[in-house]
Amino acid sequence: MAQILDGKAHADRMLEEIRQAVATRNATGARVPCLAVILVGENPASQVYVRNKVAACAKTGIRSLEFLLPETTTSDKLIDTIIELNTNPEVDGILVQLPLPKGMDAKVMLQRIDPAKDVDGLHPMNQGLLLQGQRGLRPCTPSAVMNMLKAYGVPMKGKRAVVLGRSEIVGKPMALMLMEEHATVTIAHSRTVDLPSVCREADILVAAIGQPGFVEGSWIKPGAIVVDVGINRVEDLQLGERIFTHDPKKLEALRTRGSVLCGDVRYGEAFEIAGSVTPVPGGVGPLTIAGLLTNTLQACQNRG
Ligand code: NDP
């Protein structure tokens, strides 16, 4: 039976630390940290993410500003909004919620954010600093995963780590951060040959591919640490039956509600074989928000 790496509990501890740091700043009369969140369009999942981020700000005492722009917003208008926030001295962090509507190039938009306010850590300047092992604002999800692994005392030095997925937001920065802790890292992706064998080498396996229940128990080395970043909505009952062998309640919810959330890993199978595993939900998701607020506080402290 695996140990459950409780991302929710760890995220709550991170948020409490942030709340205390903000309160200490307030007590000295320093400026309240402020996060500006921009949402373009009406993607329901993005609306939920933005609401959760704003609610977490409120919990910690960080001020938040919401910019809800219509789907018809032009790239020029979005750039104008970003530039205004770059120059607004009250604003410490700017987050453009992804994905952007079709026709907007996210990379081009993100490059317009002042790197000092780039709390998602996706500006080329911050990604370059990460590559060089220098201090900068780092992508929230992998940063918070590292924070949790360290808090749980997971040894990384000399361990074999496999990161499934090579996105700029999760896979690549995750691999760099694990390497920084002296793990020997393999990045796998959609062209990797014989993924099961590659995964079986991992002492630490991070799945970030966005494929429900893709990683099977037989791919996991006994005792491995499994971090499941994926957040997927499963609607297919047959697939659900394969994923939720351990969890009849989820299967029932899938039957009655028509869809449920799951990760990239078959949690029940992983639970039987891994040393530790993160659940979905309640694993990496809450950590991402905690990572975002950590970055906002850091950006505020850096700006003085
Ligand atoms: P992307 O779609 O940007 O990247 C997916 C990566 O997975 C790509 O590198 C792709 O390979 C690889 N991949 C896709 N299918 C396969 C496959 N069948 N076999 C091997 N590799 C595959 O996704 P993100 O990195 O943005 O997100 C990944 C998952 O994590 C999603 O479920 C997302 O919702 C979730 N997520 C969760 C967060 C959280 O807070 N918990 C935060 C961010 C993301 P290739 O490059 O070859 O195409």
Q: In this structure, is residue 18 part of a structural domain?
A: no
Which amino acid makes up residue 103? Answer: G
Residue 294 within any structural domain of the chain: no
Cis peptide leading into 279, omega within 30 of 0?
no
Q: CA torsion sign, 114 to 116 to 117 to 118?
A: positive
Pocket test for ligand 1, best of 146, 195, 231 (most atoms within 8 A of CB): 231
Q: Which residues of 117-133 are buried (b: 16+ CB within 10 A; e: fewer)?
A: bbbbbbbebbbebbeee
Among candidates 141, 92, 104, which has minimal Cα distance to 283?
A: 141
Which atom number of ligand 1 is nearest to the Cα of residue 164?
A: 21
Q: What DSSP string describes 63-81?
A: EEEEEEE-TT--HHHHHHH
- pTM for this one? 0.96
If we measure between CA atoms, which residue out of 100, 103, 123, 102 comes closest to residue 111? 123
pLDDT reported for residue 115: 98
| Residues 107 and 149 both lie in one domain | no
Strand partners, 3: 276
Q: Which atom of ligand 1 is nearest to the CA of 284?
A: 41
Task: Say whether both 60 and 194 belong to one domain.
Answer: no
Q: Does ligand 1 come within 6 angstroms of the Cβ of 33?
A: no
Distance CA 257, CA 43 (A): 20
208 CB near ligand 1 (under 6 Å): yes
Same domain, 83 and 146: no
- What three-state secondary structure class fits 301? helix
Domain membership of residue 34 as a residue range: 28-114
My answer on whether 201 and 273 are in the same domain is yes
Q: How deeply is 192 buried, as exposed, middle or buried, from its count of CB atoms within 10 A (0-12, 13-18, 19+)?
A: middle
Is residue 7 situated within a structural domain? no
- State the amino acid at position 274 in one-letter form: A
* 276 in the same domain as 159: yes
Quote the ligand 1 centre to 169 CA distance (angstroms): 9
User: Which residues are catalytically annotated?
Assistant: 53, 97, 120
Q: Is 17 part of any domain?
A: no
Whether residue 197 sits in one domain with residue 89: no
Tell me, what CATH number does 155's domain have?
3.40.50.720
152 and 275 both lie in a single domain: yes
Q: Is the CB of 254 under 6 A from ligand 1?
A: no
Q: Are 221 and 202 in contact (CB under 8 A)?
A: yes
* Furthest C-alpha separation in the chain: 58
Same domain? 172 vs 214: yes
Give, for all 304 residues of the chain, the pLDDT tens digit.
Answer: 999 999 999 999 999 999 999 999 999 999 999 999 999 999 999 999 999 999 999 999 999 999 999 999 999 999 999 999 999 999 999 999 999 999 999 999 999 999 999 999 999 999 999 999 999 999 999 999 999 999 999 999 999 999 999 999 999 999 999 999 999 999 999 999 999 999 999 999 999 999 999 999 999 999 999 999 999 999 999 999 989 988 899 999 999 999 999 999 999 999 999 999 999 999 999 999 999 999 999 999 998 7
Structure tokens at 288: 């991402």
Distance 29 CA to ligand 1 centre (A): 43
In a domain, 133, yes or no: no
Looking at the fold, whether 259 and 164 belong to one and the same domain comes out as yes
In this structure, are residues 82 and 109 in contact, taking their beta carbons and an 8 Å threshold?
A: yes
For 166, other C-beta atoms within 10 Å of its C-beta total: 18
Residues 178, 185 contacting (CB under 8 angstroms): yes
CA of 142 to the centre of ligand 1 (A): 13
Asked if the structure places residue 169 within a domain, the reply is yes
Ligand 1 contact via 282 beta carbon (within 6 Å)? no
* pLDDT recorded at residue 246: 84
Classify residue 303 by burial, with Cβ atoms within 10 Å: 0-12, 13-18, 19+.
Answer: middle
From atom 42 of ligand 1, which residue's Cα is the shortest distance away?
141
Enter the tokens of residue 144.
């918070």
Which element (helix H / strand E) includes 232? strand 232-234
Look at the chain and report how many structural domains it folds into: 2
Residue 47, domain CATH: 3.40.50.10860
Q: Are residues 148 and 267 in the same domain?
A: yes
> Is residue 157 domain-resident?
yes
Nearest to 205 by CA among 190, 223, 193, 180: 223
Q: How far apart are the first and last CA of the chain?
A: 47
Residue 130 lies inside a defined structural domain of this protein: no
Residues 102 and 149 reside in one and the same domain: no
Q: Which of 98, 114, 130 is the last residue of a domain?
A: 114
Domain identity same for 80 and 175: no
Beta-bridge partners for 233: 261
Contact 153, 128 (CB under 8 A): no
Q: Name the token pair of 234.
A: 């499963």
Q: Which amino acid, residue 270? A: A
User: E-assigned strands of the chain?
Assistant: 3-4, 34-40, 63-69, 93-96, 160-164, 184-188, 204-207, 225-228, 232-234, 260-262, 276-277
